[in-house]
Amino acid sequence: MTYIAYLDEFGHIGPYIARNDPRHNDSPVFGLAGLVLPIGQVRNFGTWFYQRKCELLKFEIEQAKAHPAVWEKKGSALYTVRNVATYQELRRFTNRLFNKIETLGGFVFYVGQCKKDPPAAHDANALYRHILKEAIKRIDQHCDLDCNPGEKFLLALDEHDQRSALVTQAAIAMYGVDQRRCLVEPPFQLESHRYQTMQAADWIAGLIGRLGAYWKAASDYPENEIFATYFAARLHQCAVRSGIRD
């Protein structure tokens, strides 16, 4: 079997000091998150997600006067404290999303880092490359050690301005000392508004970003406890080889 992993960024790539810091206050974590599906189930999932998106966000799509196939709402805008507290439909949808991924033989995946370097020592591009390398390692280990022999995966990322460096990093992971043999090709990048699967990855990343901020800096983000209350237990059940490092 071949899987496709759809991953998007969560948190913030820049340095973090504290939420009340005048400059470095965006998020204490950065990482990649999304979903991994058997290639034969990708169209099934894309159709299901499109239909659910049209139901959940019908009013906004109509207001935008855009075709829903190329209209997107960012996960960070969808998963806000107000939305989760107010809309039972969003809470219900999130659990249905996790259920659907599992039913199709897929899983949720996320990997991230708690940012503790001082701003002068923080290297955003190096952080991204490190997280990408870790993501490839973990999914490769899942295919190699947790699944049936011979299972492979492809990796799709949202568009990034460091594409050349990221593809190079992936190629090194595949053919260098690491020898990530289950990755078929270096990652390819997708325009998220054209791909329902990448939009789903962005929504999952938006949720993980809220949870990660609470997990790693609860005193700075006490209001994000609501995400842990409603979603953390179910997320842990359907996530594979995932975590946010200190």
CATH fold, domain 2-245, is Nucleotidyltransferase; domain 5 (3.30.420)
What is the pTM (predicted TM-score) of this model?
Answer: 0.94
Contact call for residues 143 and 153 (beta carbons, < 8 A):
yes
How sure is the predictor about 41, in pLDDT bands with cuts at 50, 70 and 90?
Answer: very high
Task: Say how far apart CA 108 and CA 138 lie, in whole Å.
Answer: 12
pLDDT one-digit tens code per residue, 122-160: 888 889 989 999 999 999 999 998 888 889 999 999 877
Q: Quick one: average pLDDT of 215-232?
A: 96
DSSP conformation letters of 160-222: -TTHHHHHHHHHHHHHSSS--TTB-SS-EEE-GGG-HHHHHHHHHHHHHHHHHHHHH-TTT-G
Contact call for residues 191 and 159 (beta carbons, < 8 A):
yes
DSSP 239: B
Task: Say how far apart CA 90 and CA 68 lie, in whole Å.
Answer: 18
Specify the pLDDT at position 103: 97
Q: Which residues contact 187 (CB under 8 A, 6 or more apart)?
A: 132, 155, 156, 157, 166, 167, 170
Cβ burial of 6 (10 Å; 0-12, 13-18, 19+) is: buried
Average pLDDT, the chain: 91
CA nearest neighbour of 8 among 27, 32, 29: 32
Q: Quick one: average pLDDT of 94-123?
A: 93
CA nearest neighbour of 37 among 146, 154, 183, 204: 154
- Amino acid occupying residue 196: Q
C-beta atoms surrounding 88 within 10 Å: 9
Specify the pLDDT at position 224: 97
Task: Say how far apart CA 240 and CA 154 lie, in whole Å.
Answer: 16
Task: Say how far apart CA 98 and CA 168 lie, in whole Å.
Answer: 32
Unique residue bearing structure tokens 């939420």: 19
- Amino acid occupying residue 46: G
- % residues pLDDT > 70 (the chain): 97
Q: Domain map of the chain by residue range?
A: 2-245
